[in-house]
Amino acid sequence: MLSLRRGARAILCLLASLGWSGPNFAEARELTLRFSARSNVPDLSCPSVPGAVLRKPAQRATRITDARMPDAADLDALPAPASLPQETVPAQYLRRFKLPPRNAAAPVHIGLWGDSHLAAGFVGDALTQVLRSRGYTVGPRWVSLAMGRPGVRTPLRKVCISPQWSFETAYKARDDRLKVGPDLARLHTRKRDSWLWLDLRGTDRRARIEAVEIFYQPGQRGAGLLVGVDDARARPVRLSPARSNEPPGRLRIQVDGAMSLLKLRVMAGELTLYGIRLQPAEAPDIELDLMAYPSATVRGWAVADPKTLRAMLDEDDFDAVVLAYGTNEGNVAPFALKGYERTLESGLNGMRKAIPAASCLLVGPTDRGRLLPIRTQKASQEARSTELLHYARIHQEIAETQARHAAAVHCGVWRWQAYMGGQGSIYRWLLETPPLAAADLIHLTPEGYRRSGLALAEVLGWNAQTPPALPFEPRPP
C-alpha cells in the first residue's frame, strides 16, 4: 500500500512536469494515443482494495410464513389466461433488422435496451446463437458502463473497476436533462487513483480490438490520467478543462495489432465517462450491443440529453433498436396508468431524437405473479385470484399502452406476456420441468429466457429453426 502511494505521488510529479498546470501537454479535446500490442498477455488480475467490505442490499426481514406459493387449487381457479392476441409485426418496422448478405460492406448494428430481463444476457445469448447458426459473426461495438455491476452481462472477458466510481443513470436523474452515453448512464469520479481495467479479449482469449474510443468530460480543472495497454508502461495524459455545454471529448487508444488489456487510472482532477466504443481489427457481420441493467425504466430516454448522444453516435450509428421495459414501471404503488403513458410517450420521443432512423421494436414486460399473503388464506377464491393476478393485469395494461403509442414513433410491438400465455402464465412456467420462471415470480430462468430469445429471433425474421414449443397454448381472452 505504501509503495502504491509513493508511486501515485511520483506520477503526480511527472504530470506536473509534463504541463499539468499549463497548456503544453495533451490539450486537444480529441486525442489519439498509439501503442504496440503484445502477444501472450497474462490474464487480467484486479487490484486488491484494502479495507473494502462487500455490501449486500438491505432486505426486509420476512418470516417464511408471511406468504406462500399458490397451490394447485389456486391455479386451477384462475380464469383462463387473458391476453391480447400476438399480432404480426409489420415489415416496415423491421426493415433494418434484416440480416445482411455475406461480405457486406458494413455490419448491421443492433442495440438492446431494457431492465434486468435483458441485462442478464440470456436473451442476447439466444439471439447470438441464432445468428451464428446461420453463419454470421457477432460482436459488440459499445460497452455499457454498467459493466461489473450485479446482474449485468458484459461482452468483455473481465472488468476491474474501483469503488471510487459512481454509476449515474438517466432514469434516476432528478433533472429533466442529463448528459449520458448510449447506455443512458455515465461513470463519474472525483477521487484520485480511480481505476478501470478491461480485458478486451473474448472467452477464447483471442485479441481482436485494434482501437478503443473513450468519450469523456473533465472537471473545471481538467483531469490527469495514466493509460496503459497490454501491461506496457503506462503513459500520462492531461485532459484539458471543458465547459459544461461542450460535447464530450474523445480519447482514442490505438495499437498496431490487437490489444488484450486496457488500463485507465485517474491520478488528478475530476472525470466523467460517457461511453466506450470498440473497433475490432475485423468487423463482425452483426454488432449486437447490450445496454440493459436492473431497475431501468423508459424514463431514461426522456431524460437523456439527445445532443450529447448525437455527438457520440455516428450518422445512423444504430440500424435497429429493441426497447424492453415495463416491469419496474409496473412495480410502483399505486400504479397510475396516465402517468406511465406520459412517461412512455416522452421516452419514445427522446429515443427518436437520439436515434431517428433506426428500425424499432418495443418488447412489453413478461407476466408477473406474487405470493399469497397468509391473510388471504380464509378469503374467497375470487379474492385470492385477484391477488395472484395483481401484477399480471398491470403488465397487460402496460403492453396495451405501448401498442397504442408505438406506431407514432415508427416502432413495432412484441408482447412478451402474451407469448408466455397471458395473465397468470408465469405460475405455469414455474411449474415446468425444468422451470421456465424463477421462484420470485418476476424473472425467468436461463431456459425461460433462452426460449423467449428464440421466439424474439423468429419475430425479427432471423430464425432458421422452429422455436421450442410452450408447455401450453395461450388461450384467448
* Sheet arrangement for strand 138-139: 138-139, 286-290, 108-114, 320-324, 359-363, 411-414
**Which of the listed ranges 45-59, 100-114, 356-370 does the model predict with the highest average pLDDT?**
356-370
pLDDT band at 212 (very low <50, low <70, confident <90, very high): very high
Domains along the chain with CATH numbers:
67-459 (3.40.50.1110)
Q: How far is CA 288 from the centre of its chain?
A: 11
Read off the pTM.
0.89
Which residue, 28, 5, 47, 32, is CA-closest to 235?
A: 32
Residue labelled with grid coordinates 385470484: 385
Model pLDDT for residues 41-61, shown as the tens digit of each residue: 999 999 887 644 444 444 444
- DSSP H helices, 41-167, are 72-77, 116-119, 122-133
Quickly list DSSP for 284-307: -SEEEEE---TT--THHHHHB-HH
Please report the pLDDT score of residue 471 as a whole number: 57
Residue 29 pLDDT > 90, yes or no? no
Q: Among candidates 85, 83, 90, which has minimal Cα distance to 411?
A: 90
Cell of 185: 448512464
Phi first, then psi: give them for residue 258, nearest 5 degrees. Answer: -145, 130
Give the pLDDT band (50/70/90) at residue 68: confident
Residue 467 to residue 414: CA distance in whole angstroms: 16
* Residue 12 binned pLDDT confidence (cut-offs 50, 70, 90): very low
pLDDT of residue 393: 94
Q: Is the peptide bond before 365 cis (omega within 30 degrees of 0)?
A: no
Please state, in angstroms and rounded to a whole number, the distance separating the CA atoms of residues 164 and 367.
38
At residue 98 the predicted structure's pLDDT band, cuts being 50, 70 and 90, is very high
Q: Which three cell numbers stand for residue 28?
A: 486537444
At 289 the three-state DSSP class reads strand
Q: Is the pLDDT of residue 324 over 70?
A: yes
Q: How far apart are CA 477 and CA 459, in angstroms?
A: 22
First-to-last CA distance in the chain?
65
Q: Which three-class secondary structure state does DSSP give residue 373? A: strand
- Asked whether residue 64 carries a pLDDT value surpassing 60, the answer given is no
pLDDT digits (tens, 9 = 90+) for 416-440: 999 999 999 999 999 999 999 999 9
pLDDT in tens, 390-409: 999 999 999 999 999 999 99
The model's pLDDT over 15-26, given as tens digits with 9 standing for 90+, comes to 444 344 433 344
Of 98-112, 280-294, 322-336, the least confident:
98-112
pLDDT of residue 61: 44
Instruction: Give me the pLDDT at residue 172, please.
Output: 97
Reported as a single tens digit per residue, the pLDDT across 250-308 is 999 999 999 999 999 999 999 999 999 999 999 999 999 999 999 999 999 999 999 99
Q: Note whether 234 and 265 are within 8 A (CB).
A: yes
Q: What is the dihedral of CA 34, 279, 186, 320, to 10 degrees?
A: 160
Average pLDDT over residues 84-110: 89
DSSP helix/strand/coil, 117: helix
Inter-residue contact 360 to 299 (CB < 8 Å): no
Which pLDDT does position 466 carry in this prediction?
Answer: 60
Longest dimension (CA), the chain: 79
Measure the CA–CA gap between 399 and 402, rounded to whole angstroms: 5
